[in-house]
Structure 1
């Protein structure tokens, strides 16, 4: 692994939301997207600022991960690397994942898949699971609300579907006034319909947990007037997506909606 270093936001222990069993989640810094609903604006810049982030080597991260091996063993858990955007520090992330695999640990990443496929391809030999954060199907709206095109993202999803032998889970943040429309759900279903290796699509209700961090950073939170969708709103959205038949199971924050 040499002397390679990366920028890490934080490490969270015993997560139950980022893969099977209890997970240790490593959040790396830096993200090329500027999603208007981002709940971790402190992760967007690669540079460490204030008390957000620190320099680390792959071996120093693996040392922390190994402290949790007993929990992985008893729960069927493992390690998830999230961000920020993991593809932005692909060499650093690859080294961590390779070390995890040498230790026999289950591995996952969470990624928007924005970036070169070559960056993603470096990680795939060391992965059991990929969580794809899919924002909006419509390219114009995606550019409006995230600052970037989704054309490359969709191509990376297609290539991942064709080449990756592990599990692929899609997660969609559901934001009223942004992407919770019948039209977007239909377009999303059409896109995923022929991607046969997608395990499921999980709908995540929008929340405003990052507002305090925006205040600390002196940033404006653009969607401050948008409310969290109700349970009935989420069920209705899931039913619409299911009716358009994306070809895989639909979940609401981990709860099954269709067989």
Structure 2
């Protein structure tokens, strides 16, 4: 089976446990104003971004670091764009990885029909799923689509796949969702889920500006500053203190009450 791969990065420490190889696939239904990889949005190869690969070719790249996975409890992470835009291709990579004993993780927005999630779910050890904005109208304004499908998919997945570790992530963007009431709604949603799920706050950054230039596109949030570590810690602390029994993490510190 062949799919469109944006790139493959080896040696990642931030996309799951241990040392990981991250396979970034092309294609995404969302158009987030803060997107750091605009070159991943289109499923087609454009301006030199992306290449067609078979699932076996991807597995060959993943296996190159298999010794490091063993010693660090690492593995492979499939990301995007939105990997589930290519759900059949993603399934083949995850299934083959599991077959040869490699730990698997998926990073997704869950903004797809649930049938696409079901294709890959049996082969995921860890799921990182985004709840970018909780208020449906704001989500549609800043990403192009509403979030009702996303929230329904999360609830259903947690019930049907209890053995998969799930972590919910929120990108914190000043002027968009860096509002305590907006974040509290997300935190309450997570705390009310059918099983224990930690919440991770990810600070906004502008690392993708160069990619916008290469694509001839204007970056929508060029004047938006990144939140400081102090601001992120304060937000995480406030959420954890307000919502009982919810672990809230930033990139550098975890608060558990």
Q: Distance in 2 between matches of 1:253 and 1:219?
A: 29
Q: Is the 8 A contact 2:87 2:119 kept in 1?
A: yes
Q: Which residue of 1 aligns with 2:6?
A: 9
Q: Distance in 1 between matches of 2:160 and 2:202?
A: 27
SS at the partner of 2:237?
helix
**Structure 2 residue 40 is matched with structure 1 residue 33:** no
Q: Is the 8 A contact 1:190 1:244 kept in 2?
A: no
Q: Which residue of 2 aligns with 1:230?
A: 228
- Unpaired segments of 5 or more residues in structure 2? none
Quick one: structure 1 residues 246 and 210, their matched pair in 2 at CA, closer, same or farther if it must change by over 3 Å? Answer: farther
Q: Distance in 2 between matches of 1:33 and 1:178?
A: 16
TM-score (structure 1 length as normaliser): 0.96
Q: Which residue of 2 aligns with 1:200?
A: 198
Q: Determine which of 106, 109, 119 is the counterpart of 1:122.
A: 119
Deviations 1:77-135 (A, max 9, x none): 00000001011000000001010011011000000000011101111111100001210
Q: Is the 8 A contact 1:21 1:77 kept in 2?
A: yes
Deviations 1:2-55 (A, max 9, x none): xx2100000000100000000000000000100000000000000001220000
Q: Distance in 2 between matches of 1:73 and 1:123?
A: 23
Q: Is the 8 A contact 2:233 2:253 kept in 1?
A: no
Q: Determine which of 89, 92, 95 is the counterpart of 2:92.
A: 95
SS at the partner of 2:89?
helix
Q: Which residue of 2 aligns with 1:44?
A: 41
SS at the partner of 1:207?
coil
Q: Distance in 1 between matches of 2:62 and 2:173?
A: 33
Q: Is the 8 A contact 1:170 1:198 kept in 2?
A: no
Bigger mean CA deviation after superposition, 95-104 or 237-246: 237-246
After TM superposition, the structure 1 = structure 2 runs for residues 165-204 of structure 1, keeping only pairs within 5 Å, are 165-204=163-202
Q: Which residue of 2 aligns with 1:53?
A: 50
SS at the partner of 1:123?
helix
Quick one: structure 1 residues 18 and 207, their matched pair in 2 at CA, closer, same or farther if it must change by over 3 Å? Answer: same
- Unpaired segments of 5 or more residues in structure 1? none
Q: Distance in 1 between matches of 2:187 and 2:63?
A: 40
Deviations 1:162-194 (A, max 9, x none): 122210011111000000112102211221122
Between the two proteins, the alignment pairs up a number of residues equal to: 256
